[in-house]
Structure 1
Amino acid sequence: MYKIAVLGDYNSIYGFAALGLDTFPVEDPAEGKEKLNRLAAGEYAVIYITEQLAAQLSAEISKYSEELMPAIIQIPGISGNTGAGIENVKKSVETAVGSDILFSNE
């Protein structure tokens, strides 16, 4: 059975443990890179990563963008929402559907 992981700074991710998700706090980008690769190679189908850490690991994350698993999804951290997470979801939907679902022709 596949699992769900949450990766980022401790203060941003500790609440996800109450939901039954596996949390992996990291202190710096080097540690984040190592944990991301380890989680992606393991039994994790979904990896939530804070936007701040994802910005520092963009090259590493792009290696997994064409893979079926894991799905790497950016979430806002404790310091706020940068908009990067919703932008990545929007791009994925545009690729799958073929158009911008948020665009309105009113």
Structure 2
Amino acid sequence: MYKIAVVGDYDSIYGFATLGLSICPVRNREEIRDRLRSLAEEDYGIIYITEAAAAEVSDELEMYREKTLPAIIQIPGVSGNTGAGVENVKKTVEQAVGSDILFGGVS
């Protein structure tokens, strides 16, 4: 069975521990990159990452975009929602179905 982790600044992710998720507080780009790599090598099927942390390692996230596992999903942090998470989900769905699900246009 796959596990679920949450990566980001402590204030944004500590509440997820009450849901039984593994929390991985990080402070800088190097810690984020190292943590993502180690989680991907373990049995983690889903990794939630705060939008702020994802922005720090966007090049690293590209490596996982075409892979089935782990699914890396951006979530807002305590600093607010930048819209990056929703935009990434929209792009992924658009690729999968060939159409913009919000506006009904064909790509």
TM-score by length of 1: 0.96
How far apart are the structure 2 equivalents of 1:65 and 1:93? Answer: 13
1:9 is matched with 9
- After the TM superposition, which residues 65-76 of structure 1 pair with which residues of structure 2 at under 5 Å, given as runs? 65-76=65-76
1:84 is matched with 84
How far apart are the structure 1 equivalents of 2:11 and 2:77? Answer: 8
Percent identity of paired positions between Structure 1 and Structure 2: 63
**Number of residues paired by the alignment?**
105
How far apart are the structure 2 equivalents of 1:10 and 1:83? Answer: 21
**CA deviation profile, 1:75-103 (whole Å, cap 9, x unmatched):** 00000000000000000110111100100
- After the TM superposition, which residues 21-100 of structure 1 pair with which residues of structure 2 at under 5 Å, given as runs? 21-100=21-100
**CA deviation profile, 1:29-66 (whole Å, cap 9, x unmatched):** 11110000000111000000000010010000100000
* Structure 1, unaligned runs of 5 or more: none
How far apart are the structure 1 equivalents of 2:64 and 2:41? Answer: 11
Please identify runs of 4+ aligned residues in structure 1 that moved more than 6 A: none
- Pairwise CA RMSD: 1.0
SS state at 2:102 partner: coil
SS state at 2:65 partner: coil
How far apart are the structure 2 equivalents of 1:42 and 1:20? Answer: 17
Give the deviation of 1:104 after TM superposition: 5.0
TM-score by length of 2: 0.95
